[in-house]
A and B are shown apart, each in its own frame.
Chain A
Amino acid sequence: MKKRVRRLFATLFAMLREVFDESAYQRFLLREKVAPSVASYAAFLAEYETVKARRPRCC
């Protein structure tokens, strides 16, 4: 039971991290092989602008 609850919260947290692009930033760091920093986050946001900010939002 405890394990299930823990797994539920882990999934929920993973969902939130994906929705809020924290996972995307982690993947960016892995892909670019750089450490988290102001510069790497700025580079991530620049990439975000070319990919995510171009998509229509739903009504």
Chain B
Amino acid sequence: MTDGVANEALTPSQTLRGPPVFATILATRHSPRTTGCMPKILRVLLWIAISLLGAVALATIALHRGEQIDALWLVVAAVCTYAVGYRFYSRFISAKVLALDPLRATPAERLENGRDFVPTNKWVVFGHHFAAIAGPGPLVGPVLAAQFGYLPGTLWIIAGAVLGGCVQDFVILLFSVRRDGKSLTEMAKTEIGRVGGVVAYGAVLSIIVILLGATALIVVNALKASPWGTFTIAMTMPIAVLMGVYLRRIRPGKVLETSLLGFVLVVAAIFGGQWVSETPAWAAVFTLSASTLAILIIAYGFAASSLPVWLLLTPRDYLSTFVKLGTISLLAVGIVVLRPSLHMPPLTRFADGNGPVFAGTIFPFAFITIACGAISGFHSLISSGTTPKLIRHEPETRFVGYGGMMAESMVAIMAMIAASVLQPGVYFAVNSPAGIVGQAPEAAATAISSWGFPVTAAQMASLAHAVGEQTLFNRTGGAPAFAVGMAQIFSSTLGGQTVMALWYHFAIMFEALFILTIIDAGTRVGRFMLQDALGHIWKPLGRTSWYPSILFTSAVIVAAWGNFLWQGIKDPLGGINSLWPLFGICNQLLATVALCVATTIIVKMGRARYVFVTLIPLAWLVAVTFTASWHKVLDPNPRIGFLSHARQLVAAGSNPRLVFNDRLDAAITAVLVVMVATILIESGMEWARVLSGSKMAEVREVPFVMTRLAIEERA
């Protein structure tokens, strides 16, 4: 499949420069083995059938009104579109734009050292890449965006991935491969200019800090007043330490075995959590307020960043990956086999911008709320991090880069389904903050019912009882709604209502574990980045093993994201309303930087006529992020604009700390937009210079070296 790079992609010099054995390699690319035994007419008919099926599925989800539809339509629409996108669009990019060269040795081959650079089987690299890019983002974003109905989010996930996200991941991966695995910030510096590198560095650090604050808030909202969930998550810490000791002292290197052991213990902790929640004395110990949970998570982040990596961070990372891969596979099978119905309408009244989950119209807010499932700047860091150093043959970048993002996008579709199988009244009761619907169950139910989504306090109490919670009202952040949806999908057949609470807490554990892993690893990465930067000012601060530096920089990073977390807890409108859009803007601005780098390289490669493949998603992202940033800073609606919210708080005589936080958010957004505007202008000037001929295009690829792996594999 991935070997299908057309010969037409190769320049005459490329096809002629190798010895006869390479002509054989190229010739076999069109042999029946690689193109399949199916006659051409059958293949054409098959692709016509897939295209038609995808079109019918898209029409069904777009045009159906008034009746519930089967979730399978979303899956069929996505799978068919991804298949067509992969077969035709990514192949076009491979052949015409990037001219993937099967004869060119990759850095994994040339620089093989058994450590970073290792030629690896494409399926193995695919799994590695997917495990690295799949985080909580594609689960949370679609759940929040479901307030507009399932249609806008679903269309954005599918179209955004095929035309934007997959393309970004693919081209950045390939360009990094051709530059010895250079990172995005290094490529931005060499291809665009010094400003590019600084902007990319600043954007990365900002994203890490905001991401940690926003995701920590999701965990707090999922665990507050939930003794079962809190106990289970608390237990993952001693389990991780036990795993660390087992892995280091008892069975060194047996990670899969240790992760399996950890998983069994975590499942036991889920059952233990049920007992804790039903035992009044223990339930009281583990029933914690949002503020207490926030303090504990901040302390945890600091400890994880300062402790030896083997003790807590590494085993938790393995445990989280194990649970993540298992749960995503289970959810995929569950949705396809059980085919639940979508209760959420395709479009809700909140398309007008007055949604309770977060304020703002579909454009631009749906497109920054769903980032990771459609296009995520963060992925460009992975595509220019570990993955390019493992790629064995250049054409495999298509399968790993484009294909990996398709898999991630499918996870986002499953999250959208999990949110949409809920009754809309239940969905809004769980996701609406107390500042909008009130804290009293009856008042909240009346407010939500008045929007046209009937729900009663008794219905919510019964659901909360079924999942083992005290209440499900005001559980903002996306994680509890996802957990209820997932529990509903599975409990309809596997175990029925009796095990719904177990499924719910399994989903909560899965998401919280996922997020806490991001928090501990992210704090550590932020600490390293800060140490690198401070090392330029005073050398000892750059020493990553010097404990005073470790403690100081860990404290700075923890304080930075802890401030956002605290802000989210104290925000009367529910902090996720401010923090998630801020994170989305940062993430998409990083994608803008990545697409600027990619477009600049394509122009310098002399393929300006195909520049639309990155220029169209770039133009879209610029429109989305700049509009969203304008709204978040200057919109007169206090639920949207940071500054108008600050003015409202000042007028009401509220806590000055909240006013400061709003102004800080506005300043961060404005600074990031100015930085990205600078890189856009710098890129545009570079394109103009190259295209007008006033500057000679100089591509900073490493010189061509003939592959030896291809010959060895053939032999």
The chain A residues found within 8 Å of chain B, CB to CB, are 11, 14-22, 24-28, 30-31, 36-38, 40-42, 44-45, 47-59
For the A-B complex, the count of residue pairs with Cβ-Cβ distances under 8 Å equals 127
**What's the nearest-Cβ distance from chain B to residue A41, in Å?**
3
* A48: min CB distance to chain B, Å: 7
Asked if B313 contacts A59 (CB within 8 A), the reply is no
Q: Does B382 contact A (CB under 8 A)?
A: yes
Whether B525 and A54, one on each chain, are in contact in the complex, defined by CB atoms closer than 8 angstroms, is yes
Closest residue on chain A to residue B520 by CB atoms: A57
**Closest chain B residue to A14, Cβ basis:** B124
Residues of B within 8 A of A (CB): 113-116, 118, 120-121, 123-128, 131-137, 204, 207-208, 211, 215, 247-249, 252-256, 259, 309-310, 313-314, 318, 321-322, 325, 371-372, 376, 378-379, 381-382, 385-386, 517-518, 521-522, 524-525, 528, 544, 583, 587
Which of A30, A31, A50, A58 meets B135, CB within 8 Å?
Answer: A58
Complex: A41 Cα to B255 Cα, angstroms: 11
Option from B136, B248, B255 in Cβ contact (under 8 Å) with A59? B136
Is the CB–CB distance between A15 and B128 below 8 Å? yes
Q: A18-B124, A55-B385 are in contact. Are A36 and B252 (CB under 8 A)?
A: yes
Contact indicator B525/A57 (Cβ below 8 Å) = yes
| Chain B residues positioned under 8 Å from A49 (CB to CB) | 309
Q: Say which residue of B115, B125, B517 sits within 8 Å of A31 (CB atoms).
A: B115
Asked if B252 and A37 make an inter-chain contact with CB atoms under 8 angstroms apart, the answer reads yes
A28 vs B255: C-alpha distance when bound (angstroms): 15
Q: How far is the CA of A37 from the CA of B252 in the complex (A)?
A: 6
Partner of A57, one of B128, B253, B254, B522: B522
Do A18 and B587 touch (CB < 8 A)?
no
Contacts known (A58-B378, A59-B518); A45 close to B115, Cβ less than 8 A: no
A25 touches B378 (CB 8 A): no
Contact pick for B524, options A14, A15, A48, A53, CB 8 Å: A53
Chain B residues with Cβ below 8 Å from A51 are 115-116
In contact, A53 and B521 (Cβ under 8 angstroms): yes
Whole-angstrom CA separation of A54 from B125 in the bound complex: 19
16 pairs, CB–CB < 8 Å, chain A vs chain B: A15-B123, A19-B131, A19-B321, A19-B325, A27-B115, A28-B115, A31-B113, A36-B253, A38-B252, A41-B253, A50-B544, A58-B135, A58-B378, A59-B371, A59-B378, A59-B587
Given contacts A22-B253, A22-B255, contact A58 B116 (CB under 8 A): no
CB distance from B172 to the nearest CB of A (A): 13
| Residues in chain B near residue A56, CB distance under 8 A | 204, 208, 378, 381, 385, 522, 525
- With A20-B259, A22-B256 given, is the CB distance from A58 to B132 under 8 Å? yes
User: Closest chain B residue to A59 by CB distance?
Assistant: B137
Contacts of A22 in B (CB 8 A): 253-256
Q: How far is the CA of A47 from the CA of B121 in the complex (A)?
A: 23
Measured between alpha carbons, how far is A14 from B121 in the docked complex, in Å? 9
